[in-house]
Amino acid sequence: MAKPEPSEEGPVGGRGIGEVLQLLQAEFADVTISKIRFLEAEGLVTPARTPSGYRKFSAADLDRLRYVLTAQRDQYLPLKVIKEHLGAIDRGLQPAAAGPPVAPSSLPQTPGQPVAEDFGAASTELRLTRDELLAAAGVPPELLAELENHGLVVAGGNHYGGDAIVIAQVAAELAAYGLEPRHLRAFRTAADREVGLIEQVTGPRRTEQTGELAALTVRLHTALVRSRLPRP
């Protein structure tokens, strides 16, 4: 057996490969340092390195190793499939008890007034394929095609962001009231104008101030709509 690398701290935080081996062997008795190095060579985990070249594994690296070893032991999945699963997780999908990771069926909604954090970037931004978006939103392909035609849902490259789930779900609910995607273009136009106004103040890059202004504009928009509705 290869000797564990020295436990060098250095400026890079994390666990050395020997410590990682001990933690994993409590769950996976047959894991070895050679196995961990092999998984690294295959691109399934990419630990940081100290200036001296020693591996330093983060908590996320340890989670990935556990995911790989569990998938091999319990599901007998080949490394190619596991690597595809990890790629899906990196796009924000959620691990499933069996089978590939899946997109959340909806995104968490913050109750009450919107706050700046609601418009901040998540630690892992969802990047969904078309099929993943359809499955997560639970809408037919025809509705998604209409939303795209009217610029309400826009793919970035070959992927859709998490907000596309909410847009598609709300559009499906509005359709029950007879509102079709073509009727919703005014919302897109209003959103574009609000974003343009925010960017005049903060510039094109998203900052904490951007989130604060976005929260204020949404609150103003809600109050204006409420004030114009007929009184009961």
CATH number of the 17-90 domain: 1.10.1660.10
39-62 pLDDT, tens digit each: 999 999 999 999 999 999 999 999
Interior CA angle at 136 toward 135 and 141, to 5°? 45
CATH number of the 116-228 domain: 1.10.1660
Is the pLDDT at 141 greater than 80, yes or no? yes
CA-CA-CA-CA torsion for 176, 178, 180, 184, nearest 10 degrees? -100
28-37 pLDDT, tens digit each: 999 999 999 9
Using CA atoms, how far residue 136 sits from 99, 107, 162, in Å, is: 16, 10, 10
72-93 pLDDT, tens digit each: 999 899 999 999 999 988 888 8
Indicate the residue type of 25.
Q
Query: What is the location of CATH 1.10.1660.10 in the chain?
Result: 17-90
Query: pTM value?
Result: 0.70
